[in-house]
Amino acid sequence: MKPRTPLLAALALAAALTPPLARPAQLMSAPVAVATPQDSAALVARLSALDARPGLTNDYSFRISSQHPGVVGQKITRAQHTYKGLRVFGSESVVVTNAAGEILSVAASDRRPGLAPQATTPSGITPPLPADLTPRLNSDDAIRAAVQAIAPAGTHRWPPGAELLIYPLMKSARTAAAANKPEDQLNALDLEEVVDRYALAWLVQLRMAQDGRLVYYDVVIDARDGSLIAKWPALQTVTGIGNSQYNGQVPISTSATASGFQMLDSTRGSGGKFGGMAITNANHSSPNNPDPGNVYTNSGNTWGDGKQYSGGSTTDANGQTAAVNALWGLMNTYDTNKNVLGWQSLDGNNTATYIAAHVGSAYDNAFYDDSCKCMYIGDGNSFYSLGAIDVIGHEMSHGVTASTADLIYAGESGGLNESNSDIGGEMVEAYARAGGTGNSVPASGNDWMMGKEISKSGQPLRWMYKPSKDGSSPDAWSANLKNLDVHYSSGPNNRMFYFLAQGSSADPASDYHSPYLTRAPAAMSGIGTDKAYRIWFKALTTKFTSSTNYADARNKVLQAAQELYGASSKEAIAVQRAYAAINVGADIDEAGDGGGGGGGGGQATERVVNGGFEDGATGWSGSTYVIGTHSAQPAYEGTRYAWLGGNGRRSSETLTQRVDIPAAATSAQLSFALHIDTAETSNTVYDTLTVSLRAAGGAALATLATYTNLTPAAGYQLRSFDLLPFKGQSVTLSFAMREDRSKQTSFVLDKVSLLTK
């Protein structure tokens, strides 16, 4: 290996030497600035360049839909896919960029006409692309059709909206490997969602009330004939759960007024309706059209009597108890995500929200309303008051989902939406009951049951460790899962999370046993609640799309574990085992290496030869002399790596490898570990590493990323890219480094992997 300019800082070297399991927890960034139109246009241009492929015309583009913080120094942008200017429903990319605006990774669900995997008719003809994109119904017609189908006698709480879009009607298709598998032996990875046909449609959002209840639905209306294509509920609710009357005296953060105090916490969140986190008195406002009312006030700063609401005044000590419950729950929800993850409020941008107590009379419900980004709580009738700590954590977690992945509230994605809220509720409960302080989720304090405290029978609404105990929720994935109510289809993922955190039992008679765990040991090991939550939250906020299903969730949660703890870490292995325990992917041995970060017991195939460089130049072409080892730089794994750059003079070095992506692939994930160190001090790009794909003839297919001297980092960072759009092609993977005439920049590459399924 040629001489190198030593890496600069001892601090950076010490950080790089830190093994994967000792890496500090990654916190989410502070609130991000709203992108300017110029910033959005620049990102769309970079995405379009990245997405360049045969058959892609100017008909295809992107539309920036939302932005939120990633880990420190990163931003997450969600870009909807468009075709001829119309959004393709459920088709989008999740883009991670650094402080310089460079793309670090892209996760996608691609359902665009002509590009997405499509089903075929018996004649072998693929579904036709939408030809005429002119609707025969206008938006008012579509709204009338939706109202007629959902709530003909209802009234609008919020003005209805209608968006013209291309709606892919999906169907499940077996993979080639599962073509002859018996139905009862199917695993979630044996099926893939494919486009059956496309429809020009109106997506109508109805936020109505009828017969004393809220009727919130998203409705898809055919733009040609006005027929109903699909509908799903948009009100995200939970029934029952206790409140802080079960937690004794609790500290609450209020603010002073001229005449006393109010339940306005100005230390948590900013802006919003009240300028801070607030609890309001709905004062029995009808659930048909609830009015949040005014912020709770009191002459003194002692609130409530700790007893179940008796039905009298909503402002005396007994009436204040529901508000105490709500504020304590809201504070702890905020603190859990802020102190543990660095995530501020529901949207990550620290926008304040509020909870309205005493909705209705003896109202047996609590719900999150994304129209106001707030929560309403009833006093209960069959249940006790619905302001319990895990219910508030549950409902507020719907707000996090709405601000990030925005999982469609139907089918498997709807089950994952509900499961995320159950997970959030349990994490908040654990954090609050351990004192509500610290930077980790405690290992105990929650009961892994939703609704136990408020249930007058003592029976919870859901058991996370054994969902089937409620009589309706399955313990594992099956092809019928997408047909269940989302509160039941959440069950398998709840169980997955419990196993990931706490482990399982080898005893077949135990509630904590899974018959799908067939490898050693029979009782899988958990990684602890704190790590499990970090992995899950990272996957939700930086990788999930609105249409993510169980199979996709498994792959993306695994990627999150690999990025946080290492490609072959015990945490990554535990994710594979936890999903295998619910029939999503195959089981593996804990003593194994995790299948190179995604093997899944034979479910994935590694396409890169010698990606860890342990066999020297084997499999690689170009400047292979950069492969080796050096005392100034540790490897990410093993002992060798590729050190591109670090010369401190004008130079260029390139490593390439030809890889094949099968036409039948349902997943193709490229990943690599990269450490960047530089001696450059100017805020100018001098040295670059370009990662790209080239066709068999040498023509450029796509530039995946360009890294520069402006993006150094202490230690390795895992980068990942979705290469499924290039399936059926033999491509050359290229890492090309260019240095200018002075001051070195080192691009140290290791653990290159392309896993296909």
Residue pLDDT, tens place only, 63-113: 999 889 888 888 899 999 999 999 999 999 998 888 878 787 888 888 988
Q: Render 149-174 in DSSP notation, one character per residue.
A: HH-TT-EEEEEEEEEEEEEEEEEEEE
The pLDDT of residue 124: 55
**Is the preceding peptide bond at 521 cis, omega within 30 degrees of 0?**
yes
- Render pLDDT for 568-578 as a digit per residue (tens, 0 to 9): 789 999 999 99
> CA 55, CA 58: separation in Å to the nearest integer?
10
The per-residue pLDDT for 347 is 92
Q: Predicted confidence band at 7 (pLDDT cuts at 50, 70, 90)?
A: very low
Q: Do residues 654 and 37 make contact, with C-beta atoms less than 8 angstroms apart?
A: no
Which helix (H) or strand (E) is 224 found in, with range?
A: none
Angle, CA 427 vertex, CA 563 and CA 419 arms, to 5° = 75
Confidence of residue 562 (pLDDT cuts 50, 70, 90): confident
Looking at the chain, the whole-number percentage of residues with pLDDT higher than 70 is: 91
pLDDT at 444 over 60: yes
- What is the average pLDDT across 395-416? 94
- 206: tokens are 């109805």
Identify the burial level of 135 via C-beta atoms within 10 angstroms of its C-beta, where 0-12 means exposed, 13-18 middle and 19 or more buried: middle
Q: Is the dihedral of CA 23, 24, 27, 29 positive or negative?
A: negative
pLDDT at residue 546 tops 80: yes
CATH number belonging to domain 454-603: 1.10.390.10
Q: Are 493 and 553 in contact (CB under 8 A)?
A: yes
Contacts of 258 (CB under 8 A, 6+ apart): none
Average pLDDT over residues 322-333: 92
Q: What is the mean pLDDT of residues 629-641?
A: 87
Sign of CA dihedral 436, 438, 439, 441: negative
Q: Is 395 a catalytic residue?
A: yes
Alpha-carbon torsion (88, 89, 94, 99), positive or negative: positive
CA distances from residue 495 to 32, 187, 419, 511, 583 in whole angstroms, order as listed: 34, 16, 9, 11, 11
The 10s digit of each residue's pLDDT in 359-403 is 999 988 888 888 888 999 999 888 888 888 898 999 999 999 999
The identity of residue 288, as a single letter, is N
Section 31-56 average pLDDT: 78
| Domains of the chain, residue spans | 1-25+605-757, 139-234, 244-337+363-403, 454-603
pLDDT band per the 50, 70, 90 thresholds, residue 690: very high
What's the confidence (pLDDT) of residue 141? 95
3-state secondary structure 234-302: CCEEECCCCCHHHCCCCCCCCEECCCCEECEECCCCEECCCECEEEEECCCCCCCCCCCCEECEECCCC
- Structure-token pair, residue 728: 């059926």
Among candidate residues 131, 142, 73, 128, the one with its CA nearest the CA of residue 104: 73
Helix, strand or coil, per DSSP, at residue 670: strand
- Among 34-43, 158-167, 688-697, the minimum mean pLDDT is found in 34-43
| pLDDT for residue 357 | 95
Binning pLDDT at 50, 70 and 90, where does residue 118 land? low
If pLDDT is split at 50, 70 and 90, which confidence band does 236 have? low
Average pLDDT over residues 473-479: 96
**How far lies 742's CA from each of 155, 316, 647, in Å?**
70, 74, 8
State residue 49's pLDDT score. 76
Which of 192, 193, 395, 653 does the annotation list as catalytic? Answer: 395
Count CB neighbours of 703 within 10 A: 17
514 pLDDT band, cuts 50/70/90, is: very high
Rounded to whole angstroms, the Cα distance separating 60 from 135 reads 20
Split at pLDDT 50, 70, 90, the class of 624 is very high
The pLDDT of residue 25: 60
Dihedral sign (CA 409, 413, 414, 417):
negative
Q: Does pLDDT of 436 surpass 60?
A: yes
pLDDT at 165: 95
Q: Are strands 354-359 and 277-281 parallel, antiparallel or unpaired?
A: parallel
Q: What is the mean pLDDT of residues 645-661?
A: 93
Higher local confidence (pLDDT), 640 or 123 = 640
Average pLDDT, the chain: 86
Q: Do 659 and 694 touch, CB atoms closer than 8 A? A: no
14: pLDDT strictly greater than 80: no
Closest among 68, 23, 148, 681 to 347, alpha carbons compared: 68
Q: Which fold has domain 1-25+605-757?
A: Jelly Rolls (2.60.120)
Q: Indicate whether 185 pLDDT > 60.
A: yes
Active-site annotation holds for 487? yes
The pLDDT, as a whole number, for residue 592 is 53
In the structure encoding, which two tokens stand for residue 538, read together?
């990272």
Residue 620 pLDDT > 80: yes
The reported pLDDT for the residue numbered 15 is 32
pLDDT at 138 over 80: yes
How far apart, in Å, are the Cα atoms of 585 and each of 408, 571, 592? 23, 16, 16
User: What is the per-residue pLDDT for 240?
Assistant: 23
In angstroms, what is the C-alpha Rg of the chain? 27
Is 697 strand, coil or helix?
Answer: coil
Q: Which of 68, 358, 398, 487 is catalytic?
A: 487
State how far the Cα of 33 lies from the Cα of 52, in Å rounded to an integer. Answer: 29
pLDDT at 552: 92
pLDDT for the residue numbered 55: 63
Token pair listed for 23: 């890496």
Lowest mean pLDDT among 212-221, 225-234, 273-282, 528-537: 212-221
Give the whole-angstrom CA distance, residue 429 versus residue 443: 11
